[in-house]
Structure 1
Amino acid sequence: MARDVSDSTPIGSKDELISWIAAGEKPASAFRIGTEHEKFPFYRSDLAPVPYEGRAGAGGIRALLEGMQQRLGWEPILDAGHIIGLAGPDGGGAISLEPGGQFELSGAPLETLHETDSELAAHIADVNAVAAPHGIAFAALGASPLWTRGETPVMPKGRYKIMANYMPKVGTLGLDMMFRTCTVQVNLDFGSEADMVRKLRVSLALQPLATALFASSPFLERKLNGFQSMRSEIWRDTDNARSGMIAFAFDEGMSYESYVDWALDVPMYFVKRGDTYHDVAGASFRDLLAGKLKQLPGECATMSDWANHLSTLFPEVRLKRFLEMRGADAGPADMLTALPAFWVGLLYDQSALDAAWDLVKGWSDAERQALRDAVPKQGLAATIAGRKLAEIAGEVLEISRAGLARRARHNRQGQDEGIFLAPLQEIVSSGRSLAQVLEARYRGPWGGKVEPVLTELVL
């Protein structure tokens, strides 16, 4: 979760909220790729989670951030005196913390997937160099495989305390989402309102396919949990007012305003003034916009309030000044680059985007929702419109590959960006997700033990 925005410009009307999103429009030549991924830190000696202040003889999350600050020279981000993240120079990425200590890289906006892959490799090398003296390693999985919520550390971030208090009021699994999941996401640009709508619809319809391809969370609390993507299942009962497949995106006349109207009706978590997070959980942004928020009498909405509120909405695809793909579990390094490759191939080439739309445009709201509900357990065996998702996956992967080939962004060896789809091709060819591979190891060479997942899937 990125750094909260500070912009005290007052908001005078809903039109300004719409214009704020529309300001994200870019010519295709300026389209960029921003990849984010989270990972679980743990101590190698006993596979315990890493608390903020560390433990006897070993540093913790604070030490990791301070070490990365010294190594990179990035600006520290503070919350009540605690270092809780780092900001790269000139908007060039950030490091932040999720509620349970999940360590996140929010990558810089880059032109090619080759640059994305290099950024990831550099980050993993840096963070491992800093972590090694503390005996800390990192694993990227969709859900933490060993630790109970009670065993999971809590990070000292003001907004997370507010969210943790609110989550049990609106769903049964919100705390698990906060403390025990990791994802990989990519942020992609749009050129116009019509371009945004087409990309939003295609990516929403295909988000369950991404969930199936990237499923990596079959374990919870040292046992099989019955799902290929427990992370995705957790989202089904986190806070349905602000998450899900947002079916209105397929309504005739879908627009920036449609999304703004939905966002205005999603309850707020907090209002930030200075360094203080004011708990207004459940309150209406419309009341803040009108200067009638009972928790903060006389306060009116600012642009930072709007940007921060949008960051607390969690649909499968999120609209801000870019589109954020939110359906995938975190995974090994090659999967962390495969996720942006998959979506760039589909969304950044017009022929690919049109072909993808032709594939999904006949699906109904009910069919899309049924697929989304089935995928956490069934993965590629789920069906939609009478077809298995595994069959559709092969078609979509070829559309993405062709889109990347037409982009023609080559590395020094003359390879285009399609090379980063290789792990997905292996999944489609074998018919087995990483989650299914891990389950087979659990039932076979691991002898019913989950612990080896942390030693075998270290980043």
Structure 2
Amino acid sequence: MSTRTENTADEPVIESRDQLLEPMQRGEKPRLEWRIGTEHEKFVFRREDHRAPSYDEPGGIRDILLALKEYGWEPVFEGDNIIAMAGEDGTVSLEPAGQLELSGAPLVSLHQTCAETGRHLTQVKAIGEKLGIGFLGLGMWPDKARSDLPIMPKGRYKIMTEHMPKVGDLGLDMMLRTCTIQVNLDYSSEADMVKKFRVGLALQPLATALFANSPFTEGKPNGFLSYRSHIWSDTDPARTGMLPFVFEDGFGYERWADYMLDVPMYFVFRDGKYINAAGHSFRDFMKGELSVLPGEKPTMSDWTDHMSTAFPEVRLKSFLEMRGADGGPWSRICALPAFWVGLLYDQTALDAAWDLVKDWSMEEREALRNAVPKLALDAPIPGGGTLGDIAPEVLKIAHNGLAARGQLNGSGDNETGFLSPLMEIAQRRKVPAQDLLDRYHGEWGGSTDPIYKYSL
């Protein structure tokens, strides 16, 4: 989630609706300037007892962040609390229950992305060795109840924690018990954004299936392969989902701004603090009628903040965010951007991907999205068959797209190798969660404790 550190008092206020389109318009870039931004979260646990450490205990989350100074990272504060570390590789921040996230820098190639990931994991693992800490790449805590988990001292999390139970039953699970991998990608124009958004939404269930990695809740199988994905279906219907309007004629920046205006607010950031505006209307804010800040109008930073509080399967800000994947190990962190870059950053691949899904109805897309958390690659697709049937075809499109990009490393290899973990999953038709369940019912003897041996 976003890390906000600056005030907006000196910024000009938003006076017209046209200003709301500026972040999206500003995101347009020529192809040569397209970049790849990868975000990945991991669970933090104490090796001695698998407990999730609190923020301020010795060797806890704050100490882990501070230890990154050894590698050139600089602290980011909210009040007196360190909430992130900033460096050349992006930002390392804390999620609501202490999950550690790298929001990576915008990079040219997947080779750079995977090297960035490797540097980050090497650093935190070295810190973990000193502090008795391990890191786990999964979509959901395998054994922790909500009550087992700490809450990090970040203003927006306090507001969200109070608001979530009012709008859904699983929002607190989303905040406290899940981890994801996400990739942020560019577009050249409004039309390019629209096509990428549509392909991203239609094929997000396939990404969810290939990365499904959250089959346990509180030490037992939960009946899902991606319980993290299921959680989003009962988090907050006003800010989640498959967004039918994206597939309607006329979709573009204006329609996205309308959607965001319909999303209820969470907060306003002023004087280094978050003001609770949960459930209030940004439209009222634009009229100077926000009850928690009477007479005050929003700035562009307020709008940027607000745009970060919608959580659909694909999200538009000044770039597109692909949000469907469970957390996982190093190889799959690199595989997610490979999947989406291959599909979306080559025009021939993008056209081929759209041809594959363009005739699906909205009802069929919704049905697929709803089936995937339990069935993964066995989820039925429009026209017959399953996701497992089209996975090799989609991965071939992505492979060809990566090959066409011609981004080579020092050894002369292109980017297609980063798809290998997904190719193997598609060939076996067995997703990571199913492998975990096999171990649970077999060698692990009905326990999730051994999962910690598979830490990052």
2:75 maps to 76
Q: Is the 8 A contact 1:338 1:420 kept in 2?
A: yes
Offset of residue 72 of structure 1 = 2.7
The one-letter code sitting in structure 1 at the alignment partner of 2:86 is A
2:311 maps to 314
Offset of residue 102 of structure 1 = 0.3
TM-score by length of 1: 0.97
Matched, 1:421 2:392: no
1:180 maps to 177
Give the distance between the partners of 1:305 and 1:88, measured in 2 at CA: 25
Matched, 1:387 2:390: no
Offset of residue 4 of structure 1 = 2.1
2:373 maps to 376
Q: Deviations over 1:147-198 (max 9, x none)?
A: 1100011100010000000000100000000000000000000000000000
Matched, 1:455 2:446: no
Coordinate RMSD, CA, aligned = 0.9
Q: Is the 8 A contact 2:243 2:312 kept in 1?
A: yes
1:337 maps to 334
Offset of residue 347 of structure 1 = 0.3
Offset of residue 75 of structure 1 = 2.7
Matched, 1:44 2:41: no
Q: What percent of counterpart residues are identical? A: 57
Q: How does 1:21-420 map to 2 (within 5 A)?
A: 21-54=24-57, 58-68=58-68, 70-89=69-88, 92-385=89-382, 386-420=384-418
Q: Deviations over 1:384-412 (max 9, x none)?
A: 11121001111100000000000011112
Offset of residue 74 of structure 1 = 2.5
Offset of residue 413 of structure 1 = 2.0
Q: 1:445 aligns with which of 443, 446, 453?
A: 443
Offset of residue 5 of structure 1 = 6.5
Which residues of structure 2 form unaligned runs of 5+? Answer: none
Give the distance between the partners of 2:38 and 2:155, measured in 1 at CA: 25
Q: Is the 8 A contact 1:270 1:277 kept in 2?
A: yes
Offset of residue 453 of structure 1 = 1.1
Q: Is the 8 A contact 2:5 2:77 kept in 1?
A: no
Give the distance between the partners of 1:131 and 1:309, measured in 2 at CA: 35
SS at match of 1:53: coil
Q: Is the 8 A contact 1:2 1:94 kept in 2?
A: no
Give the distance between the partners of 1:248 and 1:426, measured in 2 at CA: 35
Moved more, 77-86 or 399-408: 77-86
SS at match of 1:367: helix
The one-letter code sitting in structure 1 at the alignment partner of 2:308 is S
The one-letter code sitting in structure 2 at the alignment partner of 1:373 is N
Offset of residue 302 of structure 1 = 0.5
Q: Is the 8 A contact 1:177 1:238 kept in 2?
A: yes
Offset of residue 246 of structure 1 = 0.6
Offset of residue 128 of structure 1 = 1.1
Give the distance between the partners of 2:94 and 2:296, measured in 1 at CA: 29
Q: Deviations over 1:254-279 (max 9, x none)?
A: 01000000000100000011211100
Count residues in correspondence. 452
Ranges of 4+ aligned residues in structure 1 off by more than 6 Å: none
Give the distance between the partners of 2:120 and 2:187, measured in 1 at CA: 27
Q: Deviations over 1:15-35 (max 9, x none)?
A: 001122110000000000000
Which residues of structure 1 form unaligned runs of 5+? Answer: none
